Amino acid sequence: MNALVLYESKFGNTEKVAEAIALALQEELPTRLAAVADVEDCAEALAGVSLLVIGGPTHRHGVSSTLLATLECLEGRSLHGTRVATFDTRLHGPRLVTGSAAVRLARLMRRLGAWVVVPPASFLVASGEGPLDEGEIEHARAWARELLQAAGIRLHALV
C-alpha cells in the first residue's frame, strides 16, 4: 500500500497542511507529496496509489478551477476501490457560510468510485491569505493518524 497527498496551494497554507499530513502518513506507509501544479498527467500520478489524500483552499465556496482542471482526467469510476480523504483550508465560520472545498472534493471522489474513509477535514486560516490558525499543523497530523486507522492501516503504536 502507498499514499499520495495531492494538493493545490495559492498562499502556502494548504501546502503546509499537506506536508504535515504526508509526514504523518510516511511514518506508516510510503507516501508521495505532489502539488497539482507539478502534475502533468493525473492518471499517471495516481497509478498504483491505494490511499489518495487530496486538498486545496476553498475558493468561492468550493473547489478551485485549477484543482478541478487537474482532476479532469479522471472519469467514470476510475478511482473504484481507492481509499480517499479530502481536506481544505478555509476561513472561520459555518461551512454553510464559508463553503468547503473538502466536502465538494469528497462528493466528486465518491462519484468516481472512491471509498471516502473519513469525513472531509477543514483547516482554518486567519484571513484569505493566511496564516494558518495556531494548532492547525498539529490538527493535520492528528487527522492523518485518524485517516490511517480508518483506512485499516495498523499504526506502530497499536501493534
Indicate if the pLDDT at residue 158 is higher than 90: no
Sequence-distant (≥ 6) Cβ neighbours of residue 7 within 8 angstroms: 14, 15, 17, 18, 33, 34, 35, 36, 54, 55, 56
> How far is it between the farthest Cα atoms of the chain?
43
Give CA–CA dist 9/16, Å, rounded.
Answer: 9
Q: Classify residue 3 by its DSSP letter.
A: E
pLDDT of amino acid 74:
80
Bridging pattern class, strands 31-35 and 83-91? unpaired
For 106-129, write each residue's pLDDT tens digit. 999 999 999 999 999 999 999 989
Q: How far is CA 3 from CA 67, 71, 82, 89, 153, in A?
A: 19, 17, 10, 21, 11
pTM: 0.93
pLDDT of amino acid 16:
98
The answer to whether 101 touches 63, Cβ cutoff 8 Å, is yes
Q: Which CATH architecture has domain 3-158?
A: 3-Layer(aba) Sandwich (3.40)
- Amino acid in the structure at residue 87: F
For 9-21, write each residue's pLDDT tens digit. 999 999 999 999 9
pLDDT confidence tier of residue 141, bands split at 50, 70 and 90: very high
